[in-house]
Amino acid sequence: MKSRRMVGAGIAALATATLLLAGCSGGGGNEGGDAGATTGTLDFYTDKAAWEPDFDELNATSAEAVDITLNTTGYSDAAQYDAFIKQSFRTQKSPGLFTWHTGDSLKQLVDENLVAETTDLWTKAIDEGWATEDLRDEYTFDGKQYCVPMNIAYWVMYYNKNIFEEQGIEEPTTWEELDAAATKLKAAGITPYYQTSILFTFQWFQQLVAGTDPELYKGLSTGDVKYTDPEIVDIMNIWLDEQEKGWFSDAGSTVDPAVGLKQGDFAMINFGSFFNGSLDGAGMVSGEDYDMFVIPAVNADLGTTPVAVESGPICVAENSKQKDLGMAYSEWWMSPDAQTAWNAARGDVAFNPKATVNDPMLSDLGTTVADGSHTLFTRYFEATPTPILTVALEQFGAFNANPGDPMPFLEAIQAEADKYWADQE
């Protein structure tokens, strides 16, 4: 699961990270490598330890294309990884390439001039049709770009095809059709939607708000809109009404979501497009047992359909001895050849529309989202400042577990938001 982790760790984690930093002596330029080199071995640090084989698989392709190979060090502990990266900026061993998080976490590094600007790389990518303007916005601060996308995931609705076929339900193209599908499923004794009370508690909130008014959604991330504003309360009451109709699964269930969809615990689940891998692992076949659709806008007058996007960046440290090497790799990474190879290794949907995607479902999704009738909005997890996010996830989880008057939940979130925005003045 790809998600932003809260920055910061305890003293023990920092101590461990410092020791690890001092002991790292991979094949790259951080240990005496040539500053300014644009070919060779690039030290790469990531919090995706399980993905090391995928990155290693790309080395043959990148070696042939740009004469660069990755020396990958993966961390499985997110707090330790964040501490390590933060500590590295205070030493002479800033990483030439590392994975990070978009949103507030990336802004912190940009504000401290710790990551290299990539505006030129983005300009080329846009000119070549390798990325969309909406995606560039995710990496833009004060009119400049920083880092490049490691991966991208669109948050869509997965559904059990057998259930839909048995109930005679077609993929909804309007909010009214989606509501009609949920009503029909519930009448047949089938729970329409998945939900949880832990961590991923925000999906339906972001979908309802952004699908009603994208500017209202943006206002929550800037403090211009309060969680207790009447418009947000009205949206929460839509969610409450759906909860009271019994449209959502048991928020406390410990059944794996992929298994739950397979065995019919619920008919639909709002999740990132990386969920294909979990469903495949559960024994479901893409296009046969499950499929997906872009969730229609709540407000049909929007003109375009908002789609939540989650993107994890690859960054280059501004003061790294391997900065030029990291920038050269980053430029290649955005190309169709690199993204085709990455898709073959990892199976993600490609952010580059010109890349070849092996899974027809993911290929179609990428084409659909880039067709001009959809607009991207930043996933709530990344759009929301960390202190507010922490409280919001807890409150949405509590609402899922015990639905009721939304005001107490919203007031708790807004209390934290008031404190946060006051500190920014």
Pairing of strands 305-315, 374-378: parallel
Full set of structural domains in the chain with CATH: 11-153+309-358 (3.40.190.10), 157-307+380-424 (3.40.190.10)
Q: Amino acid letter at 208? A: L
Q: Count CB-CB contacts under 10 A for residue 238.
A: 15
Tens digit of pLDDT for each residue in 281-305? 999 999 999 999 999 999 999 999 9
Q: What mean pLDDT value characterizes the chain?
A: 90
Tell which wins on pLDDT, 61 or 32. Answer: 61
Residues 6+ apart with CB under 8 A from 312: 2, 99, 100, 101, 102, 149, 150, 151
Q: What is the DSSP letter of 103?
A: T
**What is the predicted pLDDT for the residue at 346?**
82
Query: In DSSP terms, which residues pair with 144 in a beta bridge?
Result: 141
End-to-end CA distance of the chain: 35
Distance from the Cα of residue 220 to its chain's centroid: 18
- The DSSP secondary structure of 347-383, one letter per residue, reads -PPPSSTTS--SSHHHHHHHHHHTSSSEEEEE-HHHH
Q: What is the pTM of this model?
A: 0.80
Taking a C-beta distance cutoff of 8 angstroms, is the pair 62, 42 a contact?
no
Alpha-helical runs (H) found in 24-160:
52-57, 59-66, 78-88, 104-111, 119-128, 133-137
Tens digit of pLDDT for each residue in 130-147? 998 888 998 999 999 999
Task: Tell me how far CA of residue 20 lies from CA of 7, 11, 59, 83, 231, in angstroms.
Answer: 18, 14, 24, 11, 49
Q: Amino acid letter at 383? A: A
